[in-house]
Amino acid sequence: MPDAYILGIESSCDETAAAVVRSGEQLISNVVASQIATHQPYGGVVPELASREHLRAIVPVVRQALAEARHTYESVDAIAVTQGPGLAGALLVGISYAKALAFALDKPLIAVNHLEGHIHAVLLEERQKGNHDLRFPVLALVVSGGHTHLYLAAEKDGAWTYENIGHTRDDAAGEAFDKVAKLLGLGYPGGPVVDRLATHGDAKAVKFAPAQIKHPDRRGRNDGRGVPVGSDRPRFDFSYSGIKTAILRYVESHHLQPAVEARRRALVAIAKPKLEDYLANCDQLTLDLVASFQRAIVNDLVTRTLAAAEEYNVATIFVTGGVAANHELRQTFERKAAEQGRPVYFPSRPLSTDNAAMIAAAAYPKFLEKDFAALDFSAEAGMLLR
C-alpha cells in the first residue's frame, strides 16, 4: 500500500491546529495555536472570539504545518477537517478553508468527527511506537471539555464503527474542572491548574458523595442530545454537576468568597502565572479542596469505565481527550486496569488535548475506503459518533 500524507485541520473549539500525518501511523508535523490568552479574561470560551481567532490563525498555522513537514500544498494526498461536534462558527472556519484548498488543489476532502479524532490519537501513537497488534473489543473513554463518552470501538475491513455505551447526563468532566477552577478563582482552563495544585493538598480532606444515577435517562435511550439509540445494552453514564454544586456550597459555608476574589484578582494581574504564583495565593484549605475534588472525579471516571470494561469484557482500554492529560487520572487508570489485567493506552500529553494530527490519523481509513466528503458538506455542531 503506498504511503498517504494527509493534511489535517482542526478548529472545533479554542485551538487552531494543522498537522501532516503519514498513513495514520507517523506524525510528520503538528502545529497548535492556542486561544487561551484570548478567552482567559472571560473565564471560558467566547464563541464569537473563537471564530475570529481561527480566521486569523488558520492560514499561518496550515503553512507552518506544511513547512515543518517539508511538504507543500501540492504534495499532500488529501485534506481532512473536523466536521463536528463543536462550535458552529469555529468549525466553519476550518471547513471553509479545507474546502477551498481541496477544490483549488483538486485533492480529496475528508470530513472527520472530532471524537473519532481523539480515539485515533491513541492509535496513531501506538502504531508509531510499533504496537500494531491491537486487541479488540476496545473501550474508549473520551473525556474532554465538552464530552465524557464511553464507546465500544470496532474495526471491520478497515472501516471503524462506534457504539456509545455511556455519556454524561449533565457536565462533562473537563467542564467540571473548568467550572470548579473558576469558582475557586484559579482562572481558565481549569484542568491543568487543578492537576498541578492537587499534589499539594490532602485528597482525603473533603468527602464528596459519589454521583448517583438511579433513574433511566429521562430523554430515553439516546446519545446525550435527545437522539434515540436502539440498543438496550447496559449503560455507564456519568454526572458531574453535583460535585460542582458541592464545591460551591463548601465555599459558601466556609466563607471562602473573599479569599477566592482576592486570588482571582491577584492571578489575573500575572500574565502567565507559574505554580509558585498559584501556591502563593492558595491556603491549605483550598489546596485540600482542589485535591479532594480531583480525587473524586478521577475515581468516578476510573470506576465507571472499568465497570463497563468488565461488563463488556473488553480486551483494551483507551483514555483520550483533554482530561486524559491529567497525571492522577493516568496513574489511577494504569494501576486499576492492571488489576483487571487490561492494557490501557493514552495519547502523549500534547495529543490528549485538541490537535489536528488526530484528525489526519482518523482520516486515513476513510482515505483508503475513498470515503470522501462532497464539497457542499457543512459543520455539524452536535455531530454524533457511530
Residue ranges of E strands in the chain: 5-10, 15-22, 26-34, 78-84, 109-113, 138-143, 148-156, 159-167, 316-320, 344-345
Residue 50 contacts ligand KG4 per CB under 6 A: no
The answer to whether residue 326 forms part of the interface with ligand KG4 (CB under 6 A) is yes
Distance between CA atoms of 41 and 295, rounded to whole angstroms?
28
Select the span of 154-162, 183-191, 241-249, 270-278 touching ligand KG4 (CB under 6 A). 183-191
Q: In whole angstroms, give the CA distance from residue 272 to residue 121.
A: 28
For the CB of residue 354, give the shortest distance to Zn ion in the complex, in Å.
4
Among 115, 131, 257, smallest CA distance to 184 is for 257
> Residue 166 contacts by C-beta under 8 Å, 6 or more apart in sequence?
149, 150, 235, 236, 237, 238, 304, 308
Cell for 151? 464507546
By CB under 6 A, residue 85 contacts ligand KG4: no
Nearer to Zn ion, 85 or 185 (CB): 85
User: Which one of residues 185, 190, 201, 347 is an interface residue with ligand KG4 (CB under 6 A)?
Assistant: 190
Distance separating alpha carbons of residues 354 and 64, to the nearest angstrom: 17
Binding mask 352-371 for ligand KG4 (x = CB under 6 A): -xx-----------------
Q: How far apart are CA 306 and CA 310, in angstroms?
A: 6
Report the residue from 144, 168, 286, 332 that binds Zn ion according to the rule CB under 5 A: 144
352 part of the interface to Zn ion, by CB under 5 A: no
Residue of the chain from 302, 354, 367, 383 that contacts Zn ion (CB under 5 A): 354
Is residue 201 close enough to count as binding ligand KG4 by CB under 6 A?
A: no
User: Which is it for strands 78-84 and 148-156: parallel, antiparallel or unpaired?
Assistant: unpaired
Indicate which of Zn ion, ligand KG4, none lies near residue 210 (CB less than 5 to 8 Å, by partner kind): none
Among 144, 281, 292, 305, binds ligand KG4 (CB under 6 A): 144
> Binding partner of residue 174 among ligand KG4, Zn ion, none, CB under 5 to 8 Å per kind?
ligand KG4
Q: Which helix (H) or strand (E) holds 333?
A: helix 327-340
What cell does 204 get?
A: 482525603
Nearer to ligand KG4, 110 or 323 (CB): 323
The x, y and z cell numbers of residue 218, run together, are 429521562
Stretch that binds Zn ion, among 127-135, 138-146, 175-183, 360-368 (CB under 5 A): 138-146
Residue 126 site contact among Zn ion, ligand KG4, none (CB < 5 to 8 Å, cut-off depends on kind)? none
Kindly state whether residue 82 participates in binding Zn ion, applying the rule CB under 5 A. Answer: no
Distance CA 223, CA 167 (A): 7
Interface ranges with Zn ion (CB under 5 A): 144, 354
Interface ranges with ligand KG4 (CB under 6 A): 13, 144-146, 174, 177-178, 189-192, 195, 321-323, 325-326, 353-354
